[in-house]
Amino acid sequence: MNVPSDHRDLGRAMNIFTSSPLVGSGLPLWLPGGAVMRQELEQLARDVARMDGCEPVYSPVLGKRSLYERSGHWEKFADDMFPPLDDGSEDPLVLRPANCPHHAQVYAATPRSYRDLPIRYHEVGAMFRAERSGVVTGMSRVRQINLDDTHVFARPDQVGDEVERALASVLRVFDLLALEVDHVRLSGCDDSNRWLGHPGQWAGAEEQLASVLKDMAPAAGLPWHHAPGEAAFYGPKIDVQVASPNGHEETLATVQLDFNQPDRFGLEFVTADGGRERPVMIHRGTVGAMERIVAFLLEAHDGRVPFWLAPVQVCLLPVSDDRDIEQAVEAARTELEASGLRVRVESDGSLGNRIRLARGRRDALQAVIGPAESRAGQITVTDLAEGARASLNVTEFVSRAAQAAESRALRVALTSA
């Protein structure tokens, strides 16, 4: 039986991340290969948010302690927060454990009408968790989390449509990442005192989420179940669950309802009859935390991530240092890079050893150029993930690879359909 890959080993082999005792545990350093993946994932998150009508915002990673006292994080989440900064004030600054209080203040900055809603704010923002050094590991559990985070402020009658929109986007993202959803979980409260708000609010919110799942899950072929006690402290949520290669169940995306923060921050909109009403706050993430999704993708795909996401998309391998071959390799590299593709030329050492290095790095495609290819203007390309090999005209190959990258395809079509 094959042993599942560990993202920490793959991270070293693929130049994804490293750590330093001088920086501290739980604070990974993104290496160039990992930075490429993160940039691609962040751009995907921004593209999905834009298509869903979200507006970009930026907010600071610090806030006064009173901000988190008002939001409820200080009451329910203080053990997972870093201590306040010793700045000598009565209301010291704190590294934020979540982005939502800041987005609530963005909403509060302008008077709102019922016609303005829904309002959707998106940010890929950093937040911080005071994880103990003994539990942090690699990229899967860290102290700084860079999160694809959207907050929707909606009228009560808009909640169902917004939840459906969010779930549809999650499923679209998972398809691009070649991840299979195992099931969906409706995470609610239980009889403990861990939750903010009134039982009636919780029951109504859970029913709204259940109604969406009853309509949407069967059509998408998604099993779902209710899980009391798994909610966020401020409201129920829908968790999209996947199975890891080692058989563990993990949550990679969520859609959460929040009726507490609008109350606590006094958020309002003017109704059609001139009255005032609280919006519902919806927390949604499609790509999720950059660290966690990269760790999961590496292990799920044994490092052979979708082509558009690969740190090295094409590794060019000259058979020898013959001048004509070197010129053909350089011409191919120029054409590939001009099309926006990530290319590496591996020319030192025996061909067999260079092929092994490219395999170990999980380069998406290995492209060999020898005397025959040089004379014919061709390139011999191997995709180990697909077990495919083909000899193609260089320009045709560049076109296919560029199209695959632009469309965020899983693989490059090396053979004609």
Kindly report, residue by residue over 59-70, the tens digit of the pLDDT: 999 999 999 999
Q: How confident is the model at residue 3 (pLDDT cuts 50, 70, 90)?
A: low
Lowest mean pLDDT across 22-26, 102-106, 198-202: 198-202
Mean pLDDT of the 121-139 span: 93
Reply yes or no on whether the pLDDT at 194 is more than 90: no
Query: Angle at Cα 278 formed by Cα 277 and Cα 283, nearest 5°?
Result: 150
The whole-number average pLDDT for the span 286-312 is: 96
Instruction: Work out the pLDDT band at 193, boundaries 50, 70, 90.
Output: confident
Q: Read off the pLDDT of residues 345-355 as tens digits, 9 standing for 90 and up.
A: 999 999 999 99
Average the pLDDT over 278-292 and give the result: 95
Span 8-36, average pLDDT: 96
**Torsion angle (degrees, nearest 10) of CA 300, 304, 305, 309:** 160
pLDDT, tens only, 142-186: 999 999 999 999 999 999 999 999 999 999 999 999 999 999 999
Of residues 364 and 203, which shows the higher confidence score? 364
In this prediction, residue 416 carries a pLDDT of 66
Is the distance from CB of 62 to CB of 28 less than 8 angstroms? no
**Predicted pLDDT at 2:** 64
Q: Is the pLDDT of residue 1 over 80?
A: no
Rounded CA separation 304/403 (Å): 19
**Rounded to an integer, what distance in angstroms lies between the CA atom of residue 185 and that of residue 227?**
6
List the strands of the sheet with 378-383, edge to edge. 343-345, 314-318, 365-369, 378-383, 388-393
Average pLDDT, the chain: 93
Interacting residues of 333 by C-beta distance below 8 A, sequence separation 6+: 316, 343, 345
Who wins on pLDDT, 326 or 246?
A: 326
pLDDT tens column, 80-90: 999 999 988 99
| Lowest-pLDDT choice from 97-101, 210-214, 295-299 | 210-214
What b/e sequence results for 294-303 when a residue is b if at least 16 CB atoms lie within 10 Å of its CB, and e otherwise? bbbbbbbbeb
- Average pLDDT score over residue span 293-303: 96
Rounded to whole angstroms, how far apart are CA atoms 31 and 58? 24
Average pLDDT over residues 339-344: 97
Query: In order of start, what are the domains of the chain with their CATH numbers?
Result: 7-300 (3.30.930.10), 307-406 (3.40.50.800)
Check whether 189 has a pLDDT greater than 90: no
* Cα gap 122→313, rounded to integer Å: 29
Is 320 a residue whose pLDDT tops 70? Answer: yes
What was the pLDDT predicted at 417? Answer: 54
For the chain, the C-alpha Rg in angstroms (whole number) is 24
Q: Which pLDDT score, from 0 to 100, does residue 371 have? A: 94
